[in-house]
Amino acid sequence: MKVQAYLAFGGNCQEALNFYADCFDAEVKNRQTYADKKIDVPSAFRDRLQHAELQGKGVHFMAYDAAPDTPLTNGTKQHLSIDVDNKDKARELYDKLSSGGQIHHDLREREWNALFARFTDRYGTNWMINCDL
């Protein structure tokens, strides 16, 4: 069994995946648009992503642009959590991912002997970074 994150976007999935690919040194794979799908979406929506995956060393999640009739709200219950074993890498990811977003807990040493941060990125995705010291 494998449980995996699947992120929904409102039309900017490709832009967000390009951003995440840069942050994680990963690749966007299995990119499929609505173009040839028998799904009832407006013609202006056909070039948007119906499915894609981000894959790299230690990262793999899926994403898509939700159809216009699918309501999307930014939730606060789900976070993508990143465990890093290098302080410099934790700082690099924090700086990249949180840029243009909202910081909830800045990256700093916490009582459980780790660097930790929690934030929402510019695309509305919630993240946590943890690096044991």
**Would you state the pLDDT for residue 15?**
97
Q: Is residue 121 scored above 90 in pLDDT?
A: yes
Q: What percent of the chain has pLDDT over 90?
A: 76
CATH node for 80-132: 3.10.180.10
What is the Rg, in whole angstroms, of the alpha carbon atoms belonging to the chain? Answer: 16
**Would you state the pLDDT for residue 41?**
77
Q: Which CATH class is domain 6-65?
A: alpha beta
CA 108 to chain centre: 22
**Would you state the pLDDT for residue 1?**
65
Q: Is residue 131 scored above 90 in pLDDT?
A: yes
Tokens of 22: 């840069």
Question: Is 29 within 8 Å of 55 (Cβ atoms)?
Answer: yes
| 3 state DSSP class of 1 | coil
Q: Is residue 69 scored above 90 in pLDDT?
A: no
Q: Is residue 43 scored above 90 in pLDDT?
A: no
Q: Is residue 23 scored above 90 in pLDDT?
A: yes
| 3 state DSSP class of 88 | helix
Q: Is residue 29 scored above 70 in pLDDT?
A: yes
Question: Is 28 within 8 Å of 49 (Cβ atoms)?
Answer: no
CATH 3.10.180.10 positions along the chain are 6-65, 80-132
Q: What percent of the chain has pLDDT over 70?
A: 99
